[in-house]
């Protein structure tokens, strides 16, 4: 029984989107056509690949088994294209990079702009989400993460360490009591994450700092920084983001400093695809360079900026 790659491609899209409509959008195909193609594939295989419910399309046991074969076929086609076409100097195609919004807003734009300038036929997409990306469902081709994954067929490369300091707006600091020591923070408004929306333990700054509760909160780093710019209170800011918020001033820079790390996460099979390897190398090098450049700039400005 012959199974066509196009049927596998549609199956993979539905499995990753968990819906016919989502797969249709990804494939730029009418949803009704996607549904018919899935039904036709199921009839050909003599097995139901999906369990359909109001919540969407979940893989059945047969679908889980078929998924492994479809993903191997996908990788084989990508590798065949690279081996036949050879490695060209310029990169092409579409690559989606997932990232938490701190790196997505303050690092990846510079990195991707530089990569794009050198490779005009390459389509780069930055997906900024305050959650862990599911690479098995191909939500992204690679993802910047704050922690190393504990499971899954994934590869992990450490990108770099980065640092955070307390900060607040000049107006806030001038109109509230002085902060000369960590204990002085008890009487100040604190900006931070919404506790039940923290998606990675590395974002739970309360576990290793002075704050007992958050007064003004958001699940977005960018929103937190904008809250601080508007005088909402004191909070942690990435050193590499300070250059983008000239209203902010460092608070207790010599007494409270956090260190965190970025990792690049990829699907294990993608390590065989040279094009993705080259892009991953450029992303890692670019983020390292930007973190070093922006943190060095903050050091030259000092605590009184």
Instruction: Encode the chain (305 residues) as per-residue pLDDT tens digits.
Output: 678 888 888 988 888 888 999 888 888 899 899 999 999 888 888 899 998 888 888 889 888 888 878 877 777 776 666 555 555 567 788 899 999 999 999 999 999 999 999 999 899 999 998 777 776 666 788 999 999 988 777 899 999 999 999 999 999 999 999 999 888 888 899 999 998 999 889 988 877 667 678 999 999 999 999 999 999 999 999 999 999 999 999 999 999 999 999 999 998 877 877 888 999 999 999 999 999 999 998 864 544 44
pTM: 0.73
Indicate the CATH number for domain 93-160+261-296: 3.40.190.10
What pLDDT was estimated at residue 84?
58
Q: Start-end ranges of CATH 3.40.190.10 in the chain?
A: 93-160+261-296, 162-258
CATH ID of 5-85, from 1.10.10.10, 3.40.50.300, 1.10.3110.10, 3.30.2130.30: 1.10.10.10
Q: Which residues pair with 50 in a beta bridge?
A: 59
What pLDDT was estimated at residue 85?
54
Indicate the CATH number for domain 162-258: 3.40.190.10
Q: Start-end ranges of CATH 1.10.10.10 in the chain?
A: 5-85
CA distances from 105 to 53, 71, 241 (A): 37, 32, 9
């Amino acid at each position: 029984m012959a199974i066509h790659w196009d049927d596998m491609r549609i199956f993979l899209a539905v499995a990753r989107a968990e819906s016919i409509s989502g797969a249709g959008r990804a494939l730029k195909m009418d949803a009704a056509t996607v549904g018919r193609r899935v039904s036709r594939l199921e009839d050909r295989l003599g097995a139901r690949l999906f369990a359909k419910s109001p919540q969407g399309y979940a893989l059945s046991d047969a679908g889980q088994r078929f998924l492994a074969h479809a993903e191997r076929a996908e990788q084989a086609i990508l590798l065949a294209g690279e081996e036949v076409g050879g490695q060209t100097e310029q990169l092409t195609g579409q690559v989606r990079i997932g990232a938490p919004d701190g790196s997505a807003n303050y690092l990846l734009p510079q990195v991707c702009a530089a990569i794009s300038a050198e490779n005009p036929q390459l389509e780069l997409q930055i997906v900024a989400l305050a959650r862990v990306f599911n690479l098995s469902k191909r939500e992204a081709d690679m993802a910047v993460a704050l922690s190393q994954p504990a499971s899954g067929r994934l590869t992990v490369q450490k990108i770099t360490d980065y640092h955070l300091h307390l900060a607040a707006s000049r107006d806030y600091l001038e109109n509230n009591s002085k902060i000369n020591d960590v204990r002085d923070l008890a009487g100040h408004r604190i900006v931070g994450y919404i506790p039940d929306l923290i998606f990675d333990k590395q974002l739970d700054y309360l576990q290793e700092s002075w704050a007992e509760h958050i007064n003004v909160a958001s699940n977005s780093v960018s929103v937190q920084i904008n809250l601080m710019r508007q005088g909402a209170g004191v909070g942690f800011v990435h050193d590499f983001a300070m250059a983008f918020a000239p209203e902010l001033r460092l608070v207790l820079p010599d007494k409270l400093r956090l260190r965190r790390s970025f990792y690049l996460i990829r699907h294990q099979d993608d390590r065989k695809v040279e094009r993705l390897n080259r892009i991953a190398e450029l992303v890692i090098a670019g983020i390292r360079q930007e973190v070093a450049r922006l943190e060095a700039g903050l050091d030259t400005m000092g605590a009184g900026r």
